[in-house]
Amino acid sequence: MESQYTVADLVADILPRMGVSTVFGIVSVHNIPMLDAIGKRNALRYVMCRGEMGGAHMADAYARVMGHLGVLFTSTGPGMANAIPGLVEARFAGSPVLHITGQTATKHIDRDAGTVHDVPGQTAMLAAACKAAYRVRTANEAFGVLVRAAAEALSAPRGPVSVEIPIDLQRAPIARPAGLDALALPIAAPLPPNPAELDAAAEILATAKRPMLWLGNGAKQARDAALRLMDLGFGAVSSWNGRGTIPEDHPMTLGGLHGNGSPRVQDFYGSVDAMLVVGSRLRGHETGDFSMKLPKTLIHVDCDATANGRTYPNSLFVHGDAGLAMAGIADRLAGKASVDPGFAADFGAMKARAREEYLATLGPYAPFPDAIRAALPRDGVWVRDITISNSTWGNRIFPITDPRNSVYPVGAAIGPGLALGIGASIAAQGRKTVAMCGDGGFSLGMCELWTVAQEKPDLVTMVMNDGGYGVIRHIQDAVADGRQFGHDLLTPDLQGLAALAGLPFFKVSSAEEVGTVLAQALAVKGPALVEVDMRAIGAVPPYAPYATMGKHAERARQ
C-alpha cells in the first residue's frame, strides 16, 4: 500500500520545481520527515554541513554564485539559532536564501512548555535576522507559504526568508497540489522608474562634463545598461558588494578602489561634476562613516524607496529598477551627452597612479593581488574572509571580472570564509575557487574542513597565518595607545590538520612564490589547503583609517 502524500513530500518535490538542485543542512529531530523525503527522491544534492552557521554561509555563497536560491535546512531552537549569523550575513549581502526550519508540535508552540528545542518567539528572532519569516500553521497552507517565501527571497531587494514547519505538520497528509508541476514563482517584476524622474536625471547628466557611476549590489544584473552609459563617456566605481558589475580590467572603472584609503581617488571626485549612484547604500563601512566626500551633484537610483537620503544627501532620487533606470537615462542622453573629451585620459592616468600608490602601501604584500589573479583562471571565484589581507587589498585592488565571482562577508563578520568558499565552489560547478581566510577566521569555522573532505569541492583554502588577529592589532595600536590584548592565537599545525582531513597541503614562505604555489594548488583536482606564513613574509601595514590614526598615536607617545 502506497503511503500518504505529506507536507514533507511537498517540500522535497517543490524545491526542484523552484530551480533548486542543491541544499545544505543538518538533520535533527524536527526536520527528519523533510530530509527523509529528500533522501528518498534523490533529486537534490544534500550537503551535510558540520554546523548550522556554516550551512547558512554555504547557502548564502551558493546563492550569490548561482544567482538563484540557496536553501538551508535546520532544526528548531538551538539549530535555528546557530544559523542566525549566516542569515544576518545573507541579509547584508542581499542574498536569496530560503531557510526551512522545523518547529515544535503546533499544540506546544510559544507556550514555553519545555518541549525539546522549544524557543518561544522563534519567528520573531528569524524575522529580525531575515527579510521575512513565516510559519506554516495548517498543512494545506504549506504550498502557498513556500511559494511566497521563495518568491520574496528572489524579489528585489533580495534577501533571506525563513519558513517554520512544525513537526506534526511535516507528517500531516495533504492532497498533492495541482499547481506543483507547472509552478512559476511569482517573483516581483522589475520596478519601472517614473519617466519624469528619468527626464530630470537626464537633464542634469546632459550638462555633466565629468560624470561617474557608483555601482552597488542592486546593479549587479544591469551590466549592459551600465555599459551603455560608459559608452557615453561615464567613468565608474563600485561598492565592494557591487564589484565585477563592470569587469575591472575595463579602463574606465576603478572597481573597489572607490576612495576609502586612496587620497588620489578622493581628490579626483572633486573634479567630477555629477555622480549617478545605482543600487548602493553608500555604506558607512566603505565611506569612513560617511566622511568621504562625494561629488555635490549626486543622483541616487534604488528600488527601495527608503534608500532616499538614508546615508548621503542627493540632488535627485529615482525610485526604480537599476537596469531600467540606467537604460532609460541612456536613451535620453543619446546624442545629448557633453562629456569632456579629455575626461577618459584623465581618468586613466588617475586610475594607474592611484593603483600604483595603493600597492606601495602594502609592504611585502604588494605582489599578492596580481600574482593570485594570474594564478586564478578568469572565470575563477574569489572568496575571502574578513582578514587583514582582504581589508587591505582583497576587497579593494584584486581585479574582479564578474559579480558572481566575488564573495565576501558584507557584514564584516570574521569566520565565514571557509563556509562561503564551500558554497561558492559547489555553485561554481568545476570552476576553480580560492577562499582566503585569516588564521583567526579559519579557526572559527574550522569544523567545516570536514565538509570539504566529504564533499570534495574544487576549492583551494588559503590561510593567511600571522598568528593572531592582525586587524585587531592595528585597531588597538590606533585606539588603545598601542596596548594589545587578546589578539594572539594558538592554532593547529596546518600541515598536520590537512593530513588529518586528507587534503593536499602547500606552503608559501615568501611573497615571490605565492603565485607559483597557488597555481600548484589550483592544479589539484578537488580541494587543497595552502598556508601563507605571514610571519616569514612580514607584517601587513595598517590600512585606512588605522594607518593615519596609528601615526597620530605614535607621535603622541613620542
Any idea how long the chain is?
558
Q: What are phi and psi of 53, to 5 degrees?
A: -60, -45
C-alpha–C-alpha distance, residues 18 and 185, integer Å: 7
Note the pLDDT of residue 422. 98
| CA proximity to 466, closest of 532, 546, 541 | 532
Alpha carbon distance 422, 47 (integer Å) = 10
pLDDT of residue 22: 98
The pTM of the full predicted model, rounded to 2 decimals, is 0.95
Interatomic CA distance for residues 523 and 457, integer angstroms: 13
Digits of tens for pLDDT over the chain (558 positions)? 357 999 999 999 999 999 999 999 999 989 999 999 999 999 999 999 999 999 999 999 999 999 999 999 999 999 999 999 999 999 999 999 999 999 989 988 888 877 778 888 899 999 999 999 999 999 999 999 999 999 999 999 999 999 999 999 999 999 999 999 999 999 999 999 999 999 999 999 999 999 999 999 999 999 999 999 999 999 999 999 999 999 999 999 999 999 988 999 999 999 999 999 999 999 998 999 999 999 999 999 999 999 999 999 999 999 999 999 999 999 999 999 999 999 999 999 999 999 999 999 999 999 999 999 999 999 999 999 999 999 999 999 999 999 999 999 999 899 999 999 999 999 999 899 999 999 999 999 999 999 999 999 999 999 999 987 777 777 787 777 778 777 778 889 999 999 999 999 999 999 999 999 999 999 999 999 999 999 999 988 887 777 665 444 443 334
| CA 543 and chain centroid, separation | 22
- Cα 29 vs. chain centroid, distance in angstroms? 31
Long-range contacts of 224-227 (CB under 8 A, 24+ apart): 224/323, 225/322, 225/323, 225/324, 225/325, 225/326, 225/327, 225/330, 226/278, 226/326
Helices (H) and strands (E) in the chain, counts: 22, 17
CA atoms within 13 A on the CB side of 232: 27
- Reduce the DSSP state of residue 541 to 3 states and report it: coil
* Residues 121, 130: Cα–Cα separation, whole Å: 14
d(C-alpha 449, C-alpha 451), whole Å: 5
C-alpha pair distances (Å), 255 with each of 355, 373, 403: 11, 15, 11
Give which of 92, 108, 101, 153 is closest to 125, Cα–Cα.
Answer: 101
DSSP per-residue letters across 106-163: GGGTTS----TT--TTHHHHHHHHSSEEEE--SGGGHHHHHHHHHHHHHSSSP--EEE
- What lies within 8 Å, CB to CB, of 410 at 6+ separation is 89, 92, 93, 217, 240, 241
pLDDT value of residue 550: 46
Q: What are phi and psi of 530, to 5 degrees?
A: -120, 130
Whether the link from the prior residue into 545 is cis, omega within 30° of 0, is yes
The confidence score (pLDDT) of residue 223 equals 98
Give the whole-angstrom CA distance, residue 400 versus residue 205.
28
- Give the domains, in start order, of the chain with CATH numbers: 7-170 (3.40.50.970), 195-355 (3.40.50.1220), 367-557 (3.40.50.970)
pLDDT of residue 552: 41
Beta strand 381-384 with 433-438 is parallel
> How far apart (Å, rounded) are the C-alpha atoms in residues 267 and 350?
10
Q: What is the DSSP string of 323-368?
A: HHHHHHHHHHHTTT----TTHHHHHHHHHHHHHHHHHGGGGGGTTH
Alpha helical stretches, state H, 183-302:
195-206, 223-231, 263-269
